[in-house]
Structure 1
Amino acid sequence: MSSVTTTPFDDLSPVLRAAYRARSAAAELAVLPRAAKDDALLAVADALEVRTREIVEANAADTDRARAAGASDTVVDRLTLTPERVRAIASDVRDVVALPDPVGEVVRGSTLPNGLELRQLRVPLGVVGIIYEGRPNVTVDAASLCLKAGNAVLLRGSSSAYASNTALVRAVRDAVHGAGLPADSVQLVPGETRESAQELMRARGMVDVLIPRGGAGLIRAVVEQSTVPVIETGTGNCHVYVDEHADLDTALAILVNAKAQRPGVCNAAETVLVHRAVAGEFLPRALAALTGAGVRVHGDEAWQKAGAAAGIEVEPATAEDWETEYLSYDLAAAVVDSLDAAVQHIRLWSSGHTEAIVTRDTAAARRFTATVDSAAVMVNASTRFTDGSQFGFGAEIGISTQKLHARGPMGLPELTSTKYVVTGDGHVRD
């Protein structure tokens, strides 16, 4: 009489089975040398280029469906993969290969008075889940960074990019497997429904950390509903403060760049605060430059009066404007009586992403950087520089606005944890 051997995992849902396979793959990845991971990533880059036509054809199904559903041109553009964009994604993977491997780095070490040798080493997080919206380039970015840091990754993109993500993950898995790594190092979470994402959020004990990437609604849902630890990549309600000691030409250039260079990203400025001492001179110039760049200003009474004098419409600002991440050519604007008043406004309304001060006064700059509680604070520089590549990290998995484990642009070191290795010679504790 034959019998069937079962395991406790036979009755798991497809999502949890994927998580279980990822956990097994993560155990193999954790001990791989850099060369093995880099060879796999080079194979991924080559596979993306070889299979560009397959990927672009799959993407066309997604973009056609998005247009039929009435998606905006901006949304469709974010979703679109062209041969040029696929080549750029492959180039980004090769850039990751060139980055130092953080795994095994000694964070600190010492010999204790009792002779024990203590080392704190960087180790992979394990299984990383990424929940993100309709940007298929994130699929490969996340996979390559997680692999380099020795993690297995579970990718849960939006249903709007399902065909694109399926094609991309198929190419990545084939390349990884061909290079001798477990194919399950990279998996697309099964299912397109909200239930599959919620199941991933509840996979505590099988998934080590979740990272949401997207709008405020997605991030809030993951933070509030997940039982898996979450690294919150927050929204960007970023501020530019023009101090009374600012060079106004510099302030104007920084403000226009921070708002209008690429308004639909999290490090674009959403509010400008101007010291009253320079408002009379700066506001007319700012309104002309911002309007010329296509920006619509939502201002307080001072900005409205300046707009009326210049013949430029300024919409009255409300509390909703102060808290809004527009991701568009809209900007909230106010005049403040002091640096401290600017800081108070920022601490009340900011999402904790990036704030900038423009000033020639080093004391004002020091006070601003010390009292503003955000992940990044710029002095005489655009908020647009808060970015992993701009910071010299090579790449990023997202920008964290929380304070535990990681804060600011998250590169490879932020995709690791640490463990202590203690070496003795028969030591026993008294």
Structure 2
Amino acid sequence: MPSHALPAASRLDVAGDLLTLLRDTSTEPRPDVQLEALTLAVAADLPVLLRGEPGIGKTAALNQLATSLDLPLTTVIASVHEPSDFSGLPVVGDDPAEQGVPMAPPDWAVRLVRAGRGLLFLDELSTAPPAVQAALLRLVLERRIGALRLPPGVRIVAAANPRASAADGWELSPPLANRFVHLQWTHDHEVVVRGLGGTWPRATLPRLDPDRLPEAVDFARRAVCGFLTARPPLVHRLPNGETRRGGPWPSPRSWEMTLHLIAFATAAGSSRDVLSLLVRGTVGDGPGLELLASLDRMDLPDPEVLLADPAGADLPERGDLRQAVLDAVVAAVRARPEKSRWDAAWALLARAADTGAPDLVVVPATTLAALRREDWDVPARIERLTSVVSLSRRADHAAARTAAGAKAGR
């Protein structure tokens, strides 16, 4: 029978078959920094907020995540609910004076508790008015709705559009914003094209190495505590602007979340890019980048060990880390200036010039030369570095003359 002769109901069935084919997609293991950061935060049982423009794929990512992790997905549009929907609805009993007035939870919360596990998706968070955001505080932090407490198997993920892109958008209140790991969600051209072709990246929980768990916790604690000891003003810093207050910023709560994320990333062997997204999404770009730089320096060799055996020194390959090591060596000599240590430092600088970019030794060599005492003989190694230092100085002078000429010609 021709399709035009089919009854209307049958035509809808055919349309349904076509829709089924269009929805029939598969997944593949594919590196995706955003998705890996999301799954790591979900594994760490921390509330996550996906921030991105409308239509960027935040909701689709959550649906795919729930399917991949075999978690029932419960979606709640925060902006269409009243505050009582999250704090609980009062139910008057037989004797309120004796029994009080219990707060009844909504049906979706009851279903989550009965299931014992699931993914709670709070969508359109940036369009929720302040009163609703205030009611969400207890849900996000304590996992309580009315008299119910969500079981440990429930994870919370939210999504928000930028205020300028949201319908009647609001900035998140600082207390609510500080309870989330903020992940900036952007589209990857290749992922979108391949996904529209029927294959999306697969979300999988990180594989944590059981043997590395104690080491991961110790590393995370040393990293965060050591950093905050050196930078006490960053323990708590509430941003000035309303927009920045609605994003990630440092507080004791967000530093605790950062510590958890570093431990999970270490145990999972996650990449630096994944850790960067998570740390900056928890305490903000500035403090996060400072912490990441301090993590690099935690594994740098001890200057005293290098001075004890300059010939066998293993210097970092990365230029910034090598520069930090050489600066630390010179600082150690300055703290305890002795002829043998001064000579050993020159040997290290010569080794650095031979095995890496020579310009990295210019500043430490100049500083080290200024530490010489009158009765200290000049080591032969200095001759090998003289040309490097003089060449760098000539380059600096030439650059300064060029800049001065350009300024005078304006």
TM-score (norm 2): 0.31
Larger Rg: 2
Identify the structure with bigger relative contact order (alpha carbons < 8 Å, sequence gap 6+). Answer: 1
Query: Which one has a larger percent helix, Structure 1 or Structure 2?
Result: 2
Higher strand share: 1
